[in-house]
Structure 1
């Protein structure tokens, strides 16, 4: 079993897609710990606000298989990968940390995921798993969040 930290988000019908993604995670990975949902501005492009959350799961899948499972779930929710890298999306599920793995895998699989530096990923993860250590800096998620230059980024909690 590996412990995985995930980032969840979307800005096209995000309530519907996040609700379904969280249900799928909880069904496949019993005991999944899911953060609050936050509304935040799009990063890297002009678009509708995103709803973002995080989850921590214990997975029987290795990092590659888990990444493939997350992609399949995105695809099942109409994720369109034909547009620009930074753009609107129904669902964006990223493997951010997996135990203490550091790797550059095939496609976009990179651990730790570089987006961990952004408030929309780091804040919800630090809230639900403050003790998890990021393997490159050897700092906990709570320490990373406390020192984040994005601490003042506006993020509003929302209910699904």
Structure 2
């Protein structure tokens, strides 16, 4: 399963909080490089975005509930417009090769094909994995991606581990 993480409010703090929680629930995490990206859909501060891969047998509905609670525990507000600043945003991108609406969650998440801040980090950690609808690898999808969305890799350390490094 792949999960996207984003934050544009106290970004490093909330991304680290999400990684801490995911590690406590799932153990080993496969973590993409971290990217700085422009806000999409509204004028706002840039986001930190990344994708995490985990192994789990938990049902999609239970995962969705846990992620919403984690967002709420970290100050995510639901009484604001959809496109607005947020402390923490977690989305289930894929769950194996499941397709369709599962427990109220669209699988695979449509943002994979629309947003650079989701597709690039997904292609980084799962380049050969196939999108369950298009049948194309994430590497191929990224190679063919066309959009003016901007993102930049950033240095990021979590629990003393260098997650991403800007090449010199």
Q: What is the TM-score normalised by the length of structure 1?
A: 0.91
Match of 1:99 among 96, 104, 114: 96
SS at 2:85 equivalent: coil
**Equivalent residue, structure 2, for 1:112:** 108
Segments of structure 1 that go 5 or more residues without pairing to the other structure are none
Q: Using the alignment, how far apart are the partners of 1:85 and 1:129 within structure 2? A: 28
SS at 1:134 equivalent: coil
Contact 2:26–2:54 (Cα < 8 Å) also in 1: yes
Q: What is the TM-score normalised by the length of structure 2?
A: 0.87
- CA offset at residue 133 of structure 1? 1.1
- Counterpart mapping for 1:114-133 below 5 A: 114-117=110-113, 118-133=115-130
Structure 1 outlier segments of 4+, above 3 Å: none
Q: Using the alignment, how far apart are the partners of 1:56 and 1:152 within structure 2? A: 23
2:28 corresponds to 1:57 = no
Match of 2:66 among 60, 69, 72: 69
SS at 1:101 equivalent: coil
2:138 corresponds to 1:138 = no
- Counterpart mapping for 1:10-49 below 5 A: 10-49=7-46
- What CA RMSD, in Å, does the superposition of the two structures yield over aligned residues? 1.5
Segments of structure 2 that go 5 or more residues without pairing to the other structure are 158-168
How many residue pairs get matched?
Answer: 156
- CA offset at residue 151 of structure 1? 8.0
Q: Using the alignment, how far apart are the partners of 2:58 and 2:151 within structure 1? A: 35
